[in-house]
Amino acid sequence: MRTRAFLLLAALFAGTNTASGFVAKDGPVIPGVSTWVAGREVHVEARLSPALPEDVLQRLASGLPTTVAWEMRLFVFRNLWFDGVKDERRYAVTATYRPVTSDYAVERRLDARLLDTKVVPTRDEAAAALARVPGLPSFTMGDHLLGKKLLVRVRCLYGSGVALGVVPTSAETAWVRSGIFEWTATGAR
- Quote the mean pLDDT of the chain: 82
pLDDT bin (cut points 50, 70, 90) of residue 147 is confident
Contact 104, 96 (CB under 8 A): yes
- Which residues partner with 156 through β-bridges? 70
Residues 6+ apart with CB under 8 A from 101: 119
User: Could you give the C-alpha distances from 79 to 82, 106, 115, in angstroms and in order?
Assistant: 8, 40, 36
Would 153 be classed as within a structural domain? Answer: yes
Q: What percent of the chain has pLDDT over 70?
A: 78
Q: Rounded to an integer, what distance in angstroms lies between the CA atom of residue 151 and that of residue 136? A: 15
> Could you tell me if residue 35 is inside a domain?
yes
Domain membership of residue 22 as a residue range: 2-52+69-91+132-188
For the stretch 42-62, pLDDT in tens is 999 999 988 888 888 888 888
Q: Does the residue 78 lie in any domain?
A: yes
β pairing state of 113-120 and 103-110: antiparallel
Helices (H), the chain: 2-12, 54-62, 123-130
Instruction: Please report, for residues 49, 81, 188, the alpha-carbon distance to residue 76 in angstroms, rounded to integers and kept in the order given.
Output: 27, 11, 14
Distance CA 136, CA 45 (A): 7
* Total domains, the chain: 1
Domain membership flag for residue 8? yes
CATH number at 139 reads: 2.60.40
Sheet with 33-38, strands from edge to edge, namely 33-38, 41-47, 132-140
Does residue 178 lie in a domain region?
Answer: yes
Residue 179 within any structural domain of the chain: yes
Query: Does 140 fall in a domain?
Result: yes
Q: What is the 3-state secondary structure (H, E, C) of 89-137?
A: EEEEEEEEEECCCCEEEEEEEECCEEEEEEEECCHHHHHHHHCEEEEEE
Phi/psi for 176 (5° steps) reads -125, 140
Residue 121 placed within a domain = no
Using one digit for the tens of pLDDT, what is the confidence trace for 76-134? Answer: 888 777 667 889 999 999 999 998 999 999 999 999 899 999 999 999 999 999 999 99
